């Protein structure tokens, strides 16, 4: 009984401490756009002798709680790397499961997203996505289109090199057709041809699971983003870890090439 009481006290104290840290964070500069590479689902499942898909399912729950917290903190946009153009190389059973997750996630979470004024967006290529995946995402986008709070942006079937190449092709076409002059081409104009044209470049990138690479994710947009890496596997990523990442961001001085 005493051990149970001590556990309860520790949990209560940790919760109180987290609320204090959240309150303090909100008094300072909160990153407007946070991007997350959600890595480690498969390894989380393997450690527990479970199928890889169990890790993806558990990771979906983490997206839900981090979305809630980001919205509470006043983050304007949260971009999560849900499925890359390279992920098609994975086993068919795993890919099929990942393609069903948007239906389950948005099917249960959409009412709360609407109530909390969250707007759902997607960036990526719809061409290869199953019809049921597209329907689930488009319904969420349509049903939240009038919301004005946090933007929850899913990078789904997304690859940054392909995005950049397509933007170059579009710029070339518009140049040839006389829509623009050569002197008009600058960073701002080029950014307007990317899938993130309506979003500010990320202020903070979080990657879980101990991997330290970008994996073809927002290569143009992350030029001056602050990076925060953790060994924690995505299904184990908590509100406390997200708060820790924001605190680290707030403790840095962003120079953007200056002094």
Helix (H) or strand (E) holding 151: strand 151-158
Closest CA to 221 of 131, 160, 152: 160
Domain boundary assignment for the chain: 30-146+199-226
Residue 117: φ, ψ to 5°? 65, 30
Among 10, 29, 39, 117, the one annotated catalytic: 39
Question: Could you tell me the fold of the domain covering 30-146+199-226?
Answer: Undecaprenyl pyrophosphate synthetase (3.40.1180)
Among 76, 87, 147, 216, the one annotated catalytic: 87
Q: What is the pTM of this model?
A: 0.91
Per-position pLDDT tens, the chain of length 259: 444 434 433 444 477 899 999 999 999 999 999 999 999 999 999 999 999 999 999 999 999 999 999 999 999 999 999 999 999 999 999 999 999 999 999 999 999 999 999 999 999 999 899 999 999 999 999 999 999 999 999 999 999 999 999 999 999 999 999 999 999 999 999 999 999 999 999 999 999 999 999 999 999 999 999 999 999 999 999 999 999 999 999 999 877 766 5
Q: In the chain, which residue ranges form alpha helices assigned H by DSSP? A: 2-25, 41-47, 52-73, 92-115, 131-143, 160-176, 187-191, 239-250
Please confirm, yes or no, whether 39 is among the known catalytic residues. yes
Please confirm, yes or no, whether 87 is among the known catalytic residues. yes
């Amino acid at each position: 009984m005493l051990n149970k009481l001590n556990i309860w006290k520790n949990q209560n104290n940790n919760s109180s401490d987290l609320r204090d840290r959240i309150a303090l964070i909100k008094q300072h500069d909160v990153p407007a756009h946070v991007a997350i590479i959600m890595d480690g689902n498969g390894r989380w499942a393997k450690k527990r002798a479970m199928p890889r898909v169990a890790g993806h399912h558990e990771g979906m729950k983490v997206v839900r709680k981090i979305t809630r917290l980001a919205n509470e903190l006043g983050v304007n946009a949260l971009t999560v790397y849900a499925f890359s153009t390279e992920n098609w190389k994975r086993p068919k059973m795993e890919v099929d499961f990942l393609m069903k997750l948007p239906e389950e996630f948005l099917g249960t979470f959409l009412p709360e997203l609407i109530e909390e004024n969250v707007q759902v967006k997607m960036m990526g290529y719809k061409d290869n996505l199953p019809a049921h995946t597209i329907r689930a995402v488009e319904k969420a986008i349509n049903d939240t289109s009038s919301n004005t709070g946090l933007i929850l942006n899913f990078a789904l079937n997304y690859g940054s090199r392909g995005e950049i190449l397509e933007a170059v092709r579009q710029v070339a076409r518009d140049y040839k057709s006389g829509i623009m002059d050569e002197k008009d081409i600058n960073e701002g104009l080029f950014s307007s041809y990317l899938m993130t044209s309506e979003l500010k470049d990320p202020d903070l990138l979080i990657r879980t699971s101990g991997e330290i690479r970008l994996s073809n994710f927002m290569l143009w947009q992350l030029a001056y983003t602050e990076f925060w890496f953790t060994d924690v596997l995505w299904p184990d990523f908590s509100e406390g870890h997200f708060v820790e990442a924001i605190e680290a961001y707030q403790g840095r001085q962003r120079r953007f090439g200056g002094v």
